[in-house]
C-alpha cells in the first residue's frame, strides 16, 4: 500500500507542477489573469499538501517540522474558495484582503504546534476547511439558476462540487482520528481523490482561450451611455434551430413591446413559462444568440438601458429617480443605485445632471 500511495502522490505532484508550468505564461492573461493566479497558488498549495499529508511525514516527523506544511495546506481551503469564485463568478477580481486572509490562515496553521493542548485552536483548525468549503459551495450553487453558459453549469457540480465533497470527507476523517492523522487507507483515498479532481481541473484549465474559458465567445459590447431610442434588445441573427429562432423572436417582442424586463422578480423559469419554451432552450438563445452569460445581468442591462434613456429625457426631469427605478423593474432604490453605479460609474442623479446639462 505504501508503494501505491507514493506512486499516486508522485503522479499528483507531477500533474500539479505541469499545470503550474503551463499556466505561468498566462499570468497576465487579458481575460483570465486572476483565475490563472488563483489556480497556480492552489496547485502549489496542493503540492505541499500532497507531501505533508503522506503517511511518512505525518507519522515520523515532529509537529514543528510539519508546521509549515500544515499552514500551507490549511491555506489551500481559502484558495479553493477563491478558485470557485474565479471560475464561476463573472467579473471576479482578486483584492488585497483576499491575500491578507490567506496569509492569516497560513500563519495560524503554521503556529498550531504552539497551541498544543488548547482545544479551541484545534477546533478552529478543523473548522477553517469546512467554512471555506461551504463558501465555495455557495459560490457554486448560488448563481446556478441564472447561469446561461451551459458548459459552465455542468462543471459546477463536477469540479467544485467534487472538491467540496473531498474537503468535507477529509475533514471528517481527521476529526474521527484520535491524533488527527489519516490512517494508511485514508491517506490513500485522500491522494486518489485529489488526483482525480486535479485531472478534471487540469483538463478544463490548462489553456485559457481568448474566446472565453467556456468557449462562449467574446462578451457583448457595452450599451451606449445615453441610448437615443427606447431600450430595444437587438434581434439575434438567425439560429440554426428554427425553434431557437422562434423563441428569440418571441423574446425580443416580449422584452420590447411588452417591457418584460420591467416585471419585478422576473426569473428565468418564469420567463420561459411566459414564452412557452423549456429553460434550456431559453438559456441557449440568450447566451448564444444575444451573447449574455448571466440571466440577472441580461435583465438588469435592459432595465438600466431604459432607465438611462428616461433619466436623460428633458421631459422627465421632474420624475423622481425612485419612480424610474421601480418602473423599470427594480424592487427598491438600493439595488438600482448599486447596479447603476457599477454600470456607469455614476449615481443616477449624477448621470441625469450630466445628461441634461449636455442636452
Look at residue 213 and tell me if it is in a domain.
Answer: no
Phi, psi of 53 (to 5 degrees): -95, 5
Residues 154 and 291 in one domain: no
d(CA 91, CA 85): 10
Least confident of 88-102, 176-190, 245-259: 176-190
- What CATH number has the domain bearing residue 125? 1.20.1070
pTM over 0.85: no
Give yes or no for residue 139 having a pLDDT over 90: no
CB of 278 closer than 8 Å to CB of 268: no
Look at residue 21 and tell me if it is in a domain.
Answer: yes
341 or 236: which carries more pLDDT confidence?
341
Total domains, the chain? 2
Mean pLDDT in residue range 328-341: 93
Look at residue 226 and tell me if it is in a domain.
Answer: no
* Per-residue pLDDT tens digits for 103-112: 999 999 999 8
Residues 38 and 181 in one domain: yes
Look at residue 156 and tell me if it is in a domain.
Answer: yes
Domain span at 154: 2-205
Give yes or no for residue 2 having a pLDDT over 80: no
Residues 18 and 77 in one domain: yes
Residues 175 and 268 in one domain: no
pLDDT attached to residue 221: 43
Cell 473548522 found at: 127
pLDDT attached to residue 202: 74
Last-in-domain residue among 205, 220, 254: 205
Look at residue 145 and tell me if it is in a domain.
Answer: yes
pLDDT attached to residue 165: 73
The confidence band for 224, taking pLDDT boundaries of 50, 70 and 90, is very low
Give yes or no for residue 225 having a pLDDT over 90: no
pLDDT attached to residue 349: 94
pLDDT attached to residue 218: 45
SS3 per-residue string spanning the chain: CHHHHHHHHHHHHHHHHHHHHHHHHHCCCCCCHHHHHHHHHHHHHHHHHHHHCCHHHHHHCCHHHHHHHHHHHHHHHHHHHHHHHHHHCCCCCCCHHHHHHHHHHHHHHHCHHHHCCCHHHHHHHHHHHHHHHHHHHHHHHCCHHHECCHHHHHHHHHHHHHHHHHHHHHHHHHHHCCCCCCCHHHHHHHHHHHHHHHHHHHHHHCCCCCCCCCCCCCCCCCCCCCCCCCCCCCCCCCCCCHHHHHHHHHHHHHHHCCCHHHCCCCCHHHHHHHHCCCHHHHHHHHHHHCCCCEHHHHHHHHHHHHHHHHHCCHHHCCCCHHHHHHHCCCCCHHHHHHHHHHHHCCCHHHHHHHHHHHC
As given in the structure block, the three cell numbers for residue 305 are 438601458
The confidence band for 213, taking pLDDT boundaries of 50, 70 and 90, is low
d(CA 132, CA 102): 11
- What CATH number has the domain bearing residue 289? 1.10.10.60
Mean pLDDT in residue range 321-339: 94
pLDDT attached to residue 170: 72
- % of residues, the chain, pLDDT over 90: 40
Last-in-domain residue among 160, 186, 205: 205
Give yes or no for residue 201 having a pLDDT over 80: no
Residue whose C-alpha is closest to residue 76's, from 158, 152, 171, 7: 171
CB of 160 closer than 8 Å to CB of 84: yes
Residues 254 and 323 in one domain: yes
* Per-residue pLDDT tens digits for 5-49: 889 889 999 999 988 998 888 888 777 889 889 999 999 999 998
Last-in-domain residue among 205, 220, 255: 205
Task: Tell me the Ramachandran region of residue 217: left when phi exceeds 0, alpha when psi lies from -120 to 50, beta otherwise.
Answer: left
Give yes or no for residue 206 having a pLDDT over 80: no
pLDDT attached to residue 103: 97
Give yes or no for residue 357 having a pLDDT over 80: yes
Look at residue 219 and tell me if it is in a domain.
Answer: no
Give yes or no for residue 231 having a pLDDT over 50: no
* Per-residue pLDDT tens digits for 51-88: 888 877 877 888 888 899 999 999 999 998 999 898 88
Across the chain, mean pLDDT equals 83
pLDDT attached to residue 228: 44
Amino acid at each position: 500500500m505504501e508503494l501505491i500511495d507514493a506512486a499516486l502522490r508522485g503522479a499528483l505532484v507531477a500533474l500539479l507542477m505541469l499545470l503550474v508550468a503551463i499556466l505561468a505564461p498566462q499570468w497576465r492573461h487579458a481575460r483570465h489573469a486572476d483565475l490563472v493566479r488563483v489556480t497556480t497558488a492552489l496547485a502549489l498549495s496542493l503540492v505541499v499538501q500532497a507531501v505533508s499529508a503522506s503517511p511518512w511525514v505525518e507519522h515520523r516527523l515532529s509537529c514543528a517540522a510539519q508546521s509549515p506544511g500544515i499552514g500551507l495546506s490549511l491555506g489551500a481551503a481559502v484558495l479553493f474558495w477563491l478558485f470557485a469564485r474565479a471560475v464561476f463568478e463573472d467579473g471576479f477580481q482578486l483584492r488585497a484582503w483576499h491575500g491578507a486572509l490567506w496569509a492569516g490562515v497560513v500563519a495560524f496553521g503554521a503556529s498550531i504546534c504552539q497551541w498544543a493542548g488548547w482545544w479551541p485552536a484545534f477546533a478552529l483548525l478543523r473548522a477553517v476547511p469546512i467554512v471555506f468549503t461551504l463558501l465555495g459551495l455557495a459560490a457554486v450553487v448560488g448563481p446556478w439558476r441564472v447561469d446561461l453558459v451551459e458548459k459552465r453549469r455542468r462543471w459546477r457540480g463536477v469540479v467544485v462540487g467534487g472538491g467540496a465533497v473531498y474537503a468535507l470527507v477529509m475533514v471528517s476523517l481527521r476529526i474521527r482520528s484520535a491524533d488527527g492523522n489519516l490512517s494508511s487507507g485514508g491517506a490513500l483515498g485522500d491522494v486518489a481523490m485529489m488526483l482525480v479532481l486535479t485531472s478534471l481541473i487540469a483538463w478544463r484549465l490548462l489553456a485559457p482561450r481568448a474566446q472565453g474559458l467556456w468557449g462562449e465567445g467574446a462578451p457583448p459590447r457595452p450599451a451606449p451611455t445615453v441610448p437615443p431610442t427606447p431600450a430595444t434588445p437587438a434581434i439575434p441573427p438567425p439560429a440554426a434551430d428554427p425553434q431557437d429562432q422562434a423563441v428569440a423572436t418571441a423574446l425580443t417582442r416580449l422584452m420590447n413591446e411588452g417591457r418584460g424586463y420591467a416585471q419585478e422578480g422576473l426569473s428565468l423559469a418564469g420567463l420561459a413559462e411566459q414564452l412557452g419554451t423549456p429553460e434550456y432552450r431559453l438559456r441557449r438563445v440568450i447566451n448564444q444568440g444575444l451573447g449574455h452569460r448571466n440571466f440577472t445581468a441580461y435583465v438588469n442591462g435592459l432595465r438600466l438601458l431604459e432607465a438611462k434613456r428616461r433619466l436623460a429625457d428633458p421631459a422627465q426631469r421632474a420624475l423622481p429617480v425612485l419612480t424610474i427605478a421601480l418602473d423599470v423593474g427594480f424592487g427598491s432604490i438600493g439595488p438600482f443605485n448599486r447596479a447603476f453605479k457599477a454600470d456607469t460609474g455614476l449615481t443616477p442623479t449624477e448621470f441625469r445632471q450630466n445628461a441634461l446639462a449636455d442636452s
